[in-house]
Amino acid sequence: MKMDAIELAQLAQAHAEPRYDIYAGIHKAARALFADALLALGRMDADADAERADALARLDALLDFCGQHLAHENAFIHPAMEARAAGTSEALAHEHDDHRLAIEALRGLARRLDKTPAGQRAGLAHVLYLRLSAFVAHNLEHMLVEETAHNAVLWAHYSDAEIAGLEGPFTAALSPEESAFALRWMLGALSHPQRLALLAELRFHAPAPVFDGALDLAREVLDDTQWARLSRGLGLAPAPGLVA
Ligand SMILES: [Fe+2]
């Protein structure tokens, strides 16, 4: 793994003087999705139909998310980097090409597994698990480079307001289902202060039904303690019996 002194210095700087981080929230959701699919495939009994269907659905959701996410990075973040610092997005743009191939290879393996007769699936299921683990490992390193090297470029050439402005077309390009899916995973993956800030922002800028929908998602994914803490942070009436 390549984590050189520059990256470590960038990480330290990020803690010292926080800048607007366009990757932080959505990449936490991505890491949660990677972990979820990998765990599901690892514990799957490939001959138990319901378990296999559940694990492959989680894999499918992850791969859909990955394809959309890299397309949005290509469409909205890389052009911004290239506009003010030519050549800075090339390396990871090429990795995105490799990710597309890896996504299709994983989909192909999953389809083969589903068509393999009962009693003969275990070997292929383990191959799929290992291939996904390699994909996850690569993506974790890829996201780290985006959150260090790419952020360094954005922070050097754009104000926080300009970086935040890049998110408008990014989120507008999502369907309502894609937005809800990403938000659900973000709400479950963010720290309390990040979750509170996200919802406060939505309450301020988004139409009321969007904020209400986000609250519903939060109630679904958070445990009672997390929900009570969020409710209190937002100044909502506490539910009976819940304490923060
Ligand atoms: Fe990426």
pLDDT confidence of residue 1: 53
CA of 63 relative to ligand 1 center, distance in Å? 13
CA of 159 relative to ligand 1 center, distance in Å? 21
Encode pLDDT of 207-217 as tens digits.
899 999 999 99
pLDDT confidence of residue 9: 57
Average pLDDT over residues 171-180: 87
Query: Greatest CA separation found in the chain?
Result: 58
Q: How many CA atoms does the CB half-sphere of 194 hold within 13 Å?
A: 17
Encode pLDDT of 6-40 as tens digits.
566 566 565 667 899 999 999 999 999 999 999 99
Domains of the chain (ranges plus CATH)? 5-173 (1.20.120), 191-244 (no CATH)
CA of 70 relative to ligand 1 center, distance in Å? 5
Say if residues 30 and 189 touch (Cβ distance below 8 Å). Answer: no
CA of 73 relative to ligand 1 center, distance in Å? 6
Angle at 142 between CA 138 and CA 146, to 5 degrees: 170
CA of 150 relative to ligand 1 center, distance in Å? 10
Could you tell me which residues come within 8 angstroms of residue 147 by beta carbon, excluding any fewer than 6 positions away? 21, 23, 24, 27
CA of 142 relative to ligand 1 center, distance in Å? 6
Label residue 104 by pLDDT band (50, 70, 90): very high
Encode pLDDT of 140-172 as tens digits.
999 999 999 999 999 999 999 999 999 888 788
